[in-house]
Structure 1
Amino acid sequence: MGAATQQGWDEEVDLLIFGAGAAGMTAALVADHEKLKVLLCEKTGMVGGITSTSGGTTWVPGTTLSAQAGVPDSVDDARRFLASVVGARGGDEAREAFLQSGPQVIDELARISDVKFVAATAHPDYVSGPGAAFGGRALVPAPFDARVLGKAFARVRPPRKEFMGLGGMMVARADLNALLAPFATFANFRRTIAVVGRYAMDRLRHPRGTQLVMGNALAARLYYSLCKRDIEVRFESPLVELVREDGRVTGAVVATPSGGRRRIGARRGVVLATGGITRHPTLRNQLFPAGARGLSLAPQTHTGDGVDRARQVGANVENGGDSPGLWMPCSIRRARNGQADADSVWPHIILDRAKPGLIAVNSRGERFVNESDSYHDFVMGMLRDAQQRGEQGPRVAAHLIVDAAFIHEYGLGLLMPGRSAARIAAFERSGYLVKGATLAELAAKLQVDAAGLARTVDIYNRAAREGKDPAFERGSSPMNRFNGDASQQPNPCVRPIGAGPYYAVTVWPADLACSAGLSGNANGEVLDHAGHVIAGLFACGNDLASIFRGTYPGPGTTLGPAIVFGWRIAKYAANGGKANATQNVRAARACA
């Protein structure tokens, strides 16, 4: 692996970064600010990775933004919270580094770039416990007008097609109700005209709408910041090989769009931010449970290149602790042409599972989880239940069961609320929505045990009439209640399932990110099997094993560490591989 050096480098930079998602772009932005010569190589023709298709919420405790929003948060509270959630699973030093650096990272990005967040006043942590927060820690990317990017807008990976209306229009959550019921009020009508009118004008010049929200706004803001600084992003340039000399990674071999290869030296180090192992051809099967291997929300190109190349120079891969993946229950509407890449995959985040009058059942017709818990915890419940029942096939499925009133009030999956009978029928004909005049008929169509389903609904309804759920304590946490329906009292997450007809949508586990990844320390340096630093090699984002060890504490607990460790790596590299005052975790803890 020293051949590249023996023949000389084709070019040299200070910091060579692979992967233009949130982690890689943050590292590039901050390294440039620190006067390093930076090159960012992206495997595909677009920036954003899975950041672009995500909700974009970024979990960083203790920021000034939380105080400005009127929901002040403290790092000390977050530390207590994470101690209760993660416990003795390890990774304490890296989590402490994240907590200490997080507020400074958000402040600095606001100063030096167009990356702007707003602290959500109400967006509870996903797990209850000492130090949990109801608002302030979840930072939402500010909407972004992508017209300022000009032709470079085409380089921003679009969001999931399911998150766009009219073939390319992103809709802010605050506008959703207006667009779903445009004629309900004059205010709704006016807002609908404004949003759709802007989109219509966009389509005269652009392939999709330029008013960006969620993860797409975050990715575009980062890319715009790179463009303003003239930081080079070299597209269609995947990592081929890491070059290691005398125990140190000194550069890499990079493929070029023309098919050739370039040998690039990296004086301060190489940073891996290539998206993790989600679609790695062998690690996925080795680490992921069988029931969760069939579906992924990651881009097809996230094949674990960075992790693979790091393993070739002796890097260690961690299994992710409690779970190698971070999960989302998803339903699938099959495309008419039978092509899998044309299917519509809907992540069941908050719009239906937490609402009153829905239950999730397995093939026995039995409930297995608190349906209002986080998407990750919901799927963890699916996987545990399947394992206990000995059902570990290629896909583990569950069924979301509702009555007709629920469909009209809240929708279900891809079917938005308030849809016409014709629209509901169209979802039935496609096979996405299953309807039964009776529970027995619904069970037969779902191939679910009919007696089990009838028994489950009876038990659930008896307690639900009093707003209770003794089986799973649904509605008992702030997060449950926040995502429920406040008009349903005494429990916003619980009400009886009424008379038929009944409807169901089937959901499967999908990974939205990975917890398994490369071992690393508090500065993002990659470690070998003995726990020693591989000098000159760094990892962040999904390439780095999760600091939460397979738990999912709150909204944005993948993007938060991705950005913070991208920042820490850039600062560490700029300081010549020495921790500065803000990064010296052990010293800070000793003085606390």
Structure 2
Amino acid sequence: MTEFDETFDWVVVGSGAGSMASALLMKQAGKSVVILEKSPWVGGTTAKSGGVMWIPNNRFMVPGEDSFEQACEYLDAVVPDGENSPGTSPERRRTYASEAPKMLDFIVSQGVAMERGSSFWPDYYDELPGGVKTSRTVTAVPFDKNELGKLWAARLRQGFAEVPVKLDDGMKLPFARHSWAIRMLLVRIGLKIIAGKLTGKHWVTAGAALQGRMLKAVLGKEAADIRLEAPVSEVIMEAGKALGVVTVKDGKLWRIGARLGVLINAGGFSQNQSMRDRYMPGTRAAWSNGIESDTGDMHAELERKGAVLAQMDQMVGFQMSEAPGWDSDYVKPGTQSTTGKPHAIQVDQTGVRYLNEGGSYEEFCENMLVRNRTVPAIPSWAIMDQQYMDEYAVAGKGMAKKNMATWLASGWMRQADTIEALGQQIGVPSAALKATVERWNGFVRGGRDEDFHRGERAYDNWLGDPYFKDGPNACMGTIEKGPFYAIPIVPGDVGTYGGVVCDCDSRVLKADGSPIEGLYACGVSTASPMGRVYPGAGASVGPSMTFGWIAAKHAAGLDNQL
């Protein structure tokens, strides 16, 4: 019988949003909780992310705008079942559609301020049955992390947007010159930043706001003992049951027992290149926006303990470019907003267009990887003209007028007076590239992308330019005004999307389909309940929080009470 150095009711590995949600529920049930985080910061990948939650039929939606039945219809339409997607099933998807709104209500009841992400943030496949063209997204209200106190404010992982602006408002700012309302929004944000500095506030938004607010709730309710730089090396098992973990305390191995269970929410393996080479060849850790501690330790440990790993070739793709400074950027330069705008397309190394440049970033990168198996497509090339450069920022690196000389000098951006000459510069057959651009221009003039249907989804147009009037929709514009430009695009990501297979109660399953007693998991430590698809913004954070909450509910015996 294992002897433990100390024992808690609930032992949580990792400090992502699902961990915090589970701790708050365990506190309400009167149980003791320890959260073990191997890094020096609280928040996990969630804190660095957009912090968006995809929550169908949530409290912020207009009555009649959504329903449990509509959400299930959509998930069934977009998420295929099959042997290669054991993380999902009709039962797990229905569990999510039913429990996610309840989880959100519980979190709000704990004092965590949430709001609708936007009234217009469409599902990624909104044209399918059950899809919503408005928004199922939920985000945290911007947060002054100084509310955590000096000690914990310093321990909250850095977010990607440490300003007092809502995520969806931030997306409007590039169009300020077209709208007085957006200009006034920019002024209000500027005044709030100034006021914050004068009053000693440190505003964060997106994922850092979510995790800051969750951390404040956990600390305020004394819901968990949170320990940093406390890596877990082993799940202690006896007679097929998880009894605790081996961690580190004061530089020594430390055994912590778990009366009710162990929850693994330790992130993915985005920074483990050897695992990437094994499961998703052609991808690079250097292209990932995953956090440095995302090394797959618990994936390997759970597999040793009899769990089944699945969907390991999946990642939450986020196309990016090796723009100047990319290797030292805290957030790698994403290009979704580049190729999704008018006057831009993407081609492979043969000069052929092969995807819808708008749409889901996960599908975009999956298409790149699939294409590359038969035709060189990593890197691919974004092709733009002067119309684009006059109007839009490039890869989050600012406007061309200010940065063009640096971009061209670095060799990252290529420029030529003709499409044929641009093809020569990037090593793409000139005739093929010219034919592709002419075909695209014909689609724009004809009002329809006959190859990949760009602009036929509400989401495609949301990524475009709402003020664009010269094409058939908000994301299709001709490429005809020289000079012409190209930048390389690679399949980056915001994290991996595969892990252990779990049941509807978040219990980790063995190969025979039976649960490992006392062992639970959520987040990207698991094979996603969304299978191999990303149905909408927040399809990682929402399920992580929900299934972490479900795990605690099951372990505490509260299944029929919430």
Query: Do these two structures clear the TM 0.5 threshold for a shared fold by scoring above it?
Result: yes
- What residue number does 1:224 align with? 216
Q: Does 1:445 align with 2:431?
A: no
Match for 2:12 among 9, 17, 27?
17
Q: Do the aligned partners of residues 545 and 172 (structure 1) sit closer, same or farther apart at CA in structure 2, a change above 3 Å counting?
A: closer
Residue equivalent to 1:590: none
Name the counterpart of 2:38.
Answer: 43
Aligned partners of 2:56 and 2:68 also within 8 Å = yes
TM-score (norm 2): 0.91
Once the two structures are TM-superposed, the CA of residue 481 in structure 1 deviates from its matched residue by 2.1
Letter in 1 for 2:547: F
Residue 456 of structure 1 aligns to a residue in which SS? Answer: helix
Q: Secondary structure at the match of 2:319?
A: strand
CA distance in 2, matches of 1:435, 1:133: 40
Q: Confirm whether residue 215 of structure 1 aligns to residue 207 of structure 2.
A: yes
- Determine the C-alpha separation between the residues in 1 that align with 2:197 and 2:77: 49
Corresponding position: 1:345 with 2:338: no
Distance (whole Å) between structure 2 residues aligned to residue 411 and residue 480 of structure 1: 18
466, 475, 500: which one aligns with 2:482: 500
Matched, 1:57 2:57: no
Distance of 1:522 and 1:187 partners within structure 2? 45
Residues 333, 397 of structure 2: 8 Å contact kept? no
Secondary structure class of the residue paired with 1:500 = coil
SS at 2:447's partner residue?
A: coil
Cα distance in structure 2, aligned partners of 1:305 and 1:249: 17
User: How far apart are residue 521 of structure 1 and its match?
Assistant: 0.6
The answer on whether the counterparts of 2:117 and 2:167 sit within 8 Å (CA) in structure 1 is no
Superimposed CA distance per residue, residues 97-152 of structure 1 (whole angstroms, 9 cap, x where no aligned partner): 11111111111111123242325321111113111111241112222222312212
Q: Which residue of 2 aligns with 1:233?
A: 226
Change (3 A) 1:104 1:443: same
Q: Post-superposition shift, 1:333?
A: 2.2
1:250 aligns with: 243
Partner of 1:266: 258
Kindly indicate whether the alpha-carbon contact (under 8 Å) linking 1:348 and 1:375 is maintained by their aligned counterparts in 2. no
Matched to 2:322, the amino acid is I
Q: Is residue 333 from structure 1 mapped to residue 320 from structure 2 by the alignment? A: no
What does 1:8-407 correspond to in 2, within 5 Å? 8-67=3-62, 72-89=65-82, 90-127=88-125, 128-151=127-150, 152-160=152-160, 163=161, 172-174=167-169, 192=186, 194-199=188-193, 202=196, 210-230=202-222, 231-256=224-249, 258-280=250-272, 282-291=274-283, 295-320=287-312, 323-335=313-325, 340-341=327-328, 345-349=332-336, 351-389=337-375, 391=376, 396-407=378-389
Q: From the superposition, tell whether residues 73 and 406 of structure 1 become closer, same or farther in structure 2 (CA, over 3 Å).
A: same
1:530 to 512, 530, 539: 512
Residue 376 of structure 1 aligns with an amino acid whose one-letter code is E
Going from structure 1 to structure 2, the CA distance change for 1:448 and 1:467 (only over 3 Å counts) comes to same
User: Within 2, Cα distance between the matches of 1:547 and 1:270?
Assistant: 20
1:408: which partner in 2? 390
Q: Aligned pair count?
A: 552
> How well do the aligned residues superpose, as a CA RMSD in angstroms?
2.6
* Contact residue 115 and residue 221 of structure 1 kept, 8 A: yes
Is the Cα contact below 8 Å between 1:415 and 1:424 reproduced in 2?
A: no
Q: Residues 231-289 of structure 1, C-alpha deviation per residue, up to 9 Å, x if partnerless?
A: 32101001021111111110111113x32121111000111001023234543222113
Q: Is the Cα–Cα contact under 8 Å of residues 66 and 119 in structure 1 kept in the other structure?
A: no
Q: Is 2:535 aligned against 1:540?
A: no
Q: Percent identity, aligned pairs only? A: 28
How far residue 75 of structure 1 moved from its aligned partner, in angstroms, is 1.2
Paired residues of 2:380 and 2:488 also in contact (CA < 8 A): yes
Residues of 2 paired with 1:438 and 1:59: CA distance? 44
Paired AA for residue 456 in structure 1? T
Comparing 276-285 with 235-244, greater Cα deviation is found at 276-285
SS of match in other structure, 1:352: helix
Contact 1:115 1:225 (C-alpha < 8 Å) held by counterparts: no
Residues 126 and 553 in structure 1, CA contact (< 8 A), matched pair in contact too: yes
Gaps of 5+ in 1: 583-592
- Mean CA deviation greater in 225-234 or 35-44: 225-234
Is 1:285–1:293's contact at 8 Å kept on the other side of the alignment? no
